[in-house]
């Protein structure tokens, strides 16, 4: 008999809608913004109804606070960090559910899975994060695509993009630990089904995303 797939020890509400929620994840500099945009354009080209969200949402007050924290203008406890990020997601709950109910594909450039990795590493319990997600009925992803890159690739990309790196982007050891945190989430199939893709070699094209979505 084939081996049974390992089930996540954490249960979440399943997405009850006809649409699909897809999340692009990775450490800083993995290319989630680029790939989520390319994937969005891919679905548009295929005449598939699609929407896209990016987190943190730096255009909104919550996102502005997060940006200020990342650039060391404020210091927040890990509880406050979690609540800021979590509120950023929850504010879009009805909008996401509406799109999913219409049968749309919704692509998120980062989502609660980032908070599980980053704030989980800083000490906020993953179990508590998922309990709050369940209590507040945060939409559950149908798939999380993890772009795997090394901290060296991450920092190289960020330095080319901008000189003023934030507290996460500039800390190589922290990025390595975040990568390890993601590995645990992937291994445990926590929060959703995960797919790992090499993010080091195809920053400006869809690479094997095409085959993944049309197969």
Q: How far apart are CA 190 and CA 11, in angstroms?
A: 9
- The answer, as to whether pTM is greater than 0.75, is yes
The band of 206, judged by pLDDT with boundaries at 50, 70 and 90, is low
- Return the number of other C-beta atoms located less than 10 Å from residue 170's C-beta: 14
In angstroms and rounded to an integer, the radius of gyration of the C-alpha atoms of the chain is 17
Q: 28-82: per-residue pLDDT in tens? A: 989 999 999 999 999 999 999 999 999 999 999 999 999 999 999 999 999 999 9
Q: How far apart are CA 195 and CA 205, in angstroms?
A: 18
Show the tokens assigned to 188.
Answer: 């445990």
State the CATH architecture for 20-214: 3-Layer(aba) Sandwich (3.40)
Show the tokens assigned to 215.
Answer: 């197969």
Say if strands 143-148 and 194-198 run parallel, antiparallel, or are unpaired.
Answer: parallel
33 and 54 in contact (C-beta within 8 Å)? yes
Crossing angle between the packed helical segments 126-135 and 78-90, to the nearest 10 degrees:
30
The band of 17, judged by pLDDT with boundaries at 50, 70 and 90, is confident
Domains of the chain, by residue range, sit at 20-214
Residue 125 has pLDDT above 80, yes or no: yes
**What percent of the chain is predicted at pLDDT more than 70?**
86
């Amino acid at each position: 008999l084939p081996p049974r797939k390992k089930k996540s020890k954490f249960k979440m509400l399943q997405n009850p809608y006809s649409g699909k929620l897809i999340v692009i994840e990775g450490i800083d500099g993995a290319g989630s913004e680029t790939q989520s945009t390319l994937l969005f354009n891919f679905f548009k080209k295929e005449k598939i109804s699609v929407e896209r969200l990016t987190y943190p949402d730096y255009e909104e007050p919550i996102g502005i606070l997060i940006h200020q924290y990342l650039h060391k203008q404020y210091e927040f406890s890990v509880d406050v960090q979690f609540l800021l990020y979590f509120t950023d997601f929850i504010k879009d709950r009805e909008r996401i559910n509406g799109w999913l109910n219409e049968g749309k594909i919704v692509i998120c450039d980062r989502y609660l899975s980032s908070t599980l990795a980053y704030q989980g590493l800083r000490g906020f319990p993953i179990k508590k994060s998922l309990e709050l997600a369940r209590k507040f009925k945060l939409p559950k992803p149908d798939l999380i695509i993890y772009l795997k890159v090394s901290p060296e690739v991450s920092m190289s990309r960020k330095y080319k993009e901008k000189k003023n790196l934030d507290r996460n982007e500039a800390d190589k050891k922290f990025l390595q630990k975040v990568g390890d945190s993601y590995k645990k989430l992937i291994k445990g199939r926590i929060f959703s089904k995960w797919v790992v893709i090499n993010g080091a070699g195809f920053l400006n094209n869809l690479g094997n995303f095409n085959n993944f979505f049309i197969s």
